[in-house]
Structure 1
Amino acid sequence: MTTTARPRRVPLPDSVTVIDSDTPDPYRGKVVSTYADDPGDWRKVLGDTCLFEWGIYEGARRPLNLGEAGVRFFDRQLHHAGLLTGPRPPIGRVLDLGCGWGFITYLLARRFHDTPRIDAVNISPEQLAYCADYFADHDLSDRISLYLCNGQDIDRLPDPQIPYDLVVIRGVYTHFRDDVFEQSLKALATRVRPGGTVIISDTLFKGNLDGYTSEIHDDVDRLACGNRKTPEYFADAIRSNGFSIADMRVLPSNADVAHWFGQVKSNIGRCFPTGTAGPLEELRVMADNMSAGLLHDKVSAYSIIARRSPSPERPVGTAKTTVRTTADDVAAHGTAGHPLGRVGLGSTPASGPPRRVGRGRPRPFPSVRPVLPVPKGRSTMAQQSQPTSDDVAQMYDRLTDVLTQALGGNIHVGLFGRAGAEHPVGAATDALTDAVADLLGPLAGEDAHLLDIGCGTGRPALRIAERTRGAVTGITVSDYQVRQARQALDEWSAARPRAAGTRFELADATRLPYADASFAAAWAIESLLHIQNRPAALAEAHRVVRPGGRLVVADPLLRGTVHGSAKAAVEATAGVFQVASMATEQEYRQQLADAGWKVLEFTDIGDEVRPTYQRITALMRQLADEAPQELGAQLTDGAAALDAFAALPESGYALLAAERS
């Protein structure tokens, strides 16, 4: 027997602004009904993120779920747009056109932490109701405005005097008839600033559409995706409505999209063993249809990065467009497909300011997001697969909010002292920062330039800058941490004119972008353990610190060689927290000497910091109780690994100071 889909009819939240339309869209009802089912059923199939978009699996170091692969795809598009890392133009206003169940909008709020205004548009009342709760739960309602609005009417959104700097349209235009698609682009051109960026992902069909047939010959318009478009027509419409195309490529690969469909179909079979109906059944059949189309290269997913031109290039359809898909693109990304969207769009004009949702219960991290993937197949610390800087960055992008909540605003252990764990955790983690500052030496005084290698969210750097009256450059590989640290700096420096020299940057500790002898002193708090080549990082620190300056390191260490269950506990913790290696005291001393450092002081404070681990694991277990099943299991396993590590007699912690020769 099959489960009959029962469309829900939920009231539109007061937080959603309705934009009325004067232009009929006969296809709108089909799109709305596609997403009218219970979001809980969609989450069973799509995973906790409820992200209805393709994913990139190629090159992953471990198996990925749908949400993780989808985030990799979105970040790849941000990279191609020049918006993921490094310098980028100010992003003051963002539009997510077709926001689905809200996860990409959430990511936009996280990736563009300083952006004050994000508008999310949809025509599905059910999805907008879900988004309203989701954004309130994550304390984003003051930054994200929700609109029930058709995609062809986005020129009627409020505040036209404030243009959009970035627009994201992923898996949306597949739902649009050609006339609505062209009208949407025309309306969009009136609202994007010249030079503004538009990121698009959509399914495009190759060859003559009149002759296209699916593998299953029937008349079903599955998931409102029957409005097929070719790459040539798609690109021509974009250019003809006031945009230039900076990048257009097949992405993800056909193999990755087929893999995505395979996971979806497997989830449907597992979660609905007696069968299903309605949109989920359409999705199940589409998985077979599209996989065959991908195999025969009849269809691919395309990523398009467009820029707003000063004026339209030409009327729609007056010239032929050649899509740039180079041999290098195919070699790097393959050919890919993408028949579905995250959402369809719906109706038109705005009146008055947007209404916003009230603040909800704050959460330390998105409960629907995978947090603690534990790599499989690790054997020994020497033989295990080593984390890359990208792996470490992604971990901290996921875990920063959890760790700062557990550790009182810092992302390192606390110096509780031998009296026990009764001290407040924030005071204890600040005490470790102070212990590091105590060891920086006489050159780290007023007006000195100091380097924080692995700055986290900036709290230790600002605390040490306050204490020494110097300027600090903090570096990290996490884009999210840089943005948090810069926000903290803005707040901290408002009353401190002398703080002008302090800054936070993305940089790799093994390839520092600074001149020789640039800094009076440097420190690394729990960062060297993530680096594959610790000797190279120590050598780089030696190069940029001037003679007589110091390096202070605070890092977990091993008190001896581990075997058996102790070795397994160390490896499990390394897998959870992307640890490249933990050194013994002898190894640390030798590596420092080889890099030209003279060790002045080396203290094992492992017993004094041990209560910190209990604070972290307690929060992880608390969050596991509230999290979806898969995420809860990851959190529980991570807490167990850290508990086992904390209980080891071999678990130590180095606090050392070395002087540059």
Structure 2
Amino acid sequence: MTNTRLHEAKVRRFYDDSDGGEGAGQAYTALMGTIWHHGARDAEAAGKSVAEAAEIMERRLMDLAGLEPGQRALDFGSGPGGATTQMAEMTGATFVGLSNTETLGQRARQLAADKGLDDQVFFLTVGDRDYRTLGAWPDGSFDAVTFFESVCHLPDKQAFFQAAFRVLKPGGRLVGLDWLQRPFGDYQTDEQIQSIIRPVCEHIRLSGLGTLDSYAAMMRTAGFDVTHAVDEFEGEPCWGSTPPEDRKKWLTYSGQSGELFQDGKRALDAARGAGVFTVGWFAATRPSSL
């Protein structure tokens, strides 16, 4: 078994709530609800709640995706389904959410049913390496592919972007948000940055963090025209989605693998404070003709 395969299996185990898993699905739902991604910086600065800022971020990306009723989208790394169902409600499009953990899929399907969206939003559990090909779908199956803070887990990010390109229709859009690293303040060299980022990756089962430029380059290598590559917290530490009052909840969480999530919170807050952690959002188009 290669190191890559070991990591991919470790990600699945991280999110798995069943016996033998580390229970991130249960922990994150208890601590954050069904929406796990960062929101729009300006919205939070204006006093909007974390949930409201997250919805504004989703709307921004859905506007760039241009999805309409009757169209189809693939949401990679759909987790408990909160963002996926909201995007379906916003656009009227049909969504297929993907996770590599069945316990997350079950939770997401129940959420869709509770919202009356189980004929519009579908959640599938895929194998650890299926992200490399998205082989269950033929070429040109979707009008949009979305990702919300999920590609950071992948050892072969380039393969995912190539697979996303293949399953998109000509003119289809790739939009997403992800965790990134960057130089900031006293942390300029890769060695300095990694001294802060490495514990985050270890505790949260990330396969290294890319940069704004590396993501855009991978998308272009896959064949996309990249229209947006934006550091949402350019020039300032990224504390978005982490209200100070939530810190105690994380550091006292005592559920399954509680110490792991406490340590992960400490590592991530250190990276936020150092400024080397940020989130960026992207939009890219599969050209209509090659």
TM-score range, shorter chain: 0.7 to 0.9
1:446-461 equivalent positions in 2, closer than 5 A: 446-461=69-84
1:22-33 equivalent positions in 2, closer than 5 A: none
Out of 396, 402, 407, the residue aligned to residue 27 of structure 2 is 402
Partner in structure 2 of residue 417 of structure 1: 42
The answer as to whether partners of 2:182 and 2:193 remain within 8 angstroms in 1 is no
Question: Cα distance, 1:562 vs. partner?
Answer: 4.4
Distance 1:408 1:655 in 2: 22
Question: Cα distance, 1:407 vs. partner?
Answer: 2.6
The answer as to whether partners of 2:145 and 2:173 remain within 8 angstroms in 1 is yes
The answer as to whether partners of 1:529 and 1:579 remain within 8 angstroms in 2 is yes
Distance 2:5 2:207 in 1: 6
Partner in structure 1 of residue 273 of structure 2: 647
Label 1:403 to 1:428 Cα distance change in 2 as closer, same or farther (>3 A).
Answer: farther
1:75-86 equivalent positions in 2, closer than 5 A: none
Q: Deviations over 1:241-271 (max 9, x none)?
A: xxxxxxxxxxxxxxxxxxxxxxxxxxxxxxx
Label 1:456 to 1:525 Cα distance change in 2 as closer, same or farther (>3 A).
Answer: same
Q: Does 1:511 align with 2:133?
A: yes
Label 1:502 to 1:418 Cα distance change in 2 as closer, same or farther (>3 A).
Answer: closer
Q: Does 1:485 align with 2:108?
A: yes
Aligned residue type for 2:132: T
1:36-55 equivalent positions in 2, closer than 5 A: none
Distance 2:243 2:4 in 1: 27
Distance 2:89 2:272 in 1: 33
Structure 2 residue runs without a partner (length 5+) = 17-22
Question: Cα distance, 1:428 vs. partner?
Answer: 2.5
Distance 2:274 2:43 in 1: 17
Secondary structure of the residue aligned to 1:447 is: coil
Out of 123, 144, 169, the residue aligned to residue 521 of structure 1 is 144
Distance 1:539 1:575 in 2: 26
Partner in structure 2 of residue 602 of structure 1: 229
Partner in structure 2 of residue 310 of structure 1: none
1:16-415 equivalent positions in 2, closer than 5 A: 388-397=7-16, 398-415=23-40
Q: Does 1:574 align with 2:175?
A: no
Q: Does 1:433 align with 2:58?
A: yes
Partner in structure 1 of residue 156 of structure 2: 533
Distance 1:528 1:461 in 2: 16
Question: Cα distance, 1:659 vs. partner?
Answer: 0.2
Q: Does 1:472 align with 2:95?
A: yes
Superposed structure 1 runs of 4+ greater than 6 Å apart: none
Aligned residue type for 1:431: I
Aligned residue type for 1:593: R
Question: Cα distance, 1:592 vs. partner?
Answer: 0.7
The answer as to whether partners of 1:387 and 1:532 remain within 8 angstroms in 2 is no
Q: Report which of the two structures shows the higher radius of gyration computed on alpha carbons.
A: 1
Stretch moving more, 589-598 or 417-426: 417-426
Distance 2:44 2:243 in 1: 15
Percent identity for Structure 1 against Structure 2: 24
Aligned residue type for 1:511: T
**Would you say how many aligned residue pairs link Structure 1 and Structure 2?**
270
Partner in structure 1 of residue 249 of structure 2: 619
Question: Cα distance, 1:572 vs. partner?
Answer: 0.2
RMSD: 2.6
Label 1:539 to 1:472 Cα distance change in 2 as closer, same or farther (>3 A).
Answer: same
Distance 2:156 2:198 in 1: 18
The answer as to whether partners of 1:453 and 1:523 remain within 8 angstroms in 2 is yes
Distance 1:521 1:632 in 2: 36
Aligned residue type for 2:131: A
Aligned residue type for 1:532: P
Pick 1 or 2: higher relative contact order, CA cutoff 8 A, min separation 6. 2
Label 1:388 to 1:627 Cα distance change in 2 as closer, same or farther (>3 A).
Answer: closer
Secondary structure of the residue aligned to 1:412 is: coil
Q: Does 1:551 align with 2:177?
A: no
The answer as to whether partners of 1:472 and 1:501 remain within 8 angstroms in 2 is yes
Distance 1:641 1:502 in 2: 35
Partner in structure 2 of residue 343 of structure 1: none
TM-score under structure 2 length normalisation: 0.83
Label 1:634 to 1:481 Cα distance change in 2 as closer, same or farther (>3 A).
Answer: closer
Q: Deviations over 1:366-393 (max 9, x none)?
A: xxxxxxxxxxxxxxxxxx9786332112
Q: Deviations over 1:95-131 (max 9, x none)?
A: xxxxxxxxxxxxxxxxxxxxxxxxxxxxxxxxxxxxx
The answer as to whether partners of 1:417 and 1:608 remain within 8 angstroms in 2 is no
Label 1:418 to 1:452 Cα distance change in 2 as closer, same or farther (>3 A).
Answer: closer
Distance 1:385 1:639 in 2: 25
Question: Cα distance, 1:450 vs. partner?
Answer: 0.8
Aligned residue type for 2:28: L
Secondary structure of the residue aligned to 2:205 is: coil
Aligned residue type for 2:205: Q
Structure 1 residue runs without a partner (length 5+) = 1-58, 62-383
Question: Cα distance, 1:448 vs. partner?
Answer: 0.2
Aligned residue type for 2:89: E
Partner in structure 1 of residue 19 of structure 2: none
